[in-house]
Amino acid sequence: MSVEAMQKQIIEIESELCDIRKGEVYKAIMEMVERPLIEYALGRTGGNQLMAARILGINRNTIRSKAKKFGIDARKWKMA
47 Cβ contact list (under 8 Å, min separation 6): 74, 75, 76, 77, 78, 79
CATH of domain 3-77: 1.10.10.60
Q: What is the mean pLDDT of residues 10-16?
A: 71
Confidence (pLDDT) at 73: 92
Confidence (pLDDT) at 6: 75
The domain limits of the chain are 3-77
80 pLDDT more than 60 = no
Q: What is the pTM of this model?
A: 0.70
How do residues 19-51 score in pLDDT, each as one tens digit?
A: 667 777 788 788 888 999 999 999 999 999 999
How do residues 56-77 score in pLDDT, each as one tens digit?
A: 999 999 999 999 999 999 888 8
Q: Where are the alpha helices (DSSP H) in the chain?
A: 3-12, 14-17, 25-44, 49-56, 60-70
Tell me how far apart the alpha carbons of residues 41 and 70 are, in angstroms, rounded to a whole number.
14
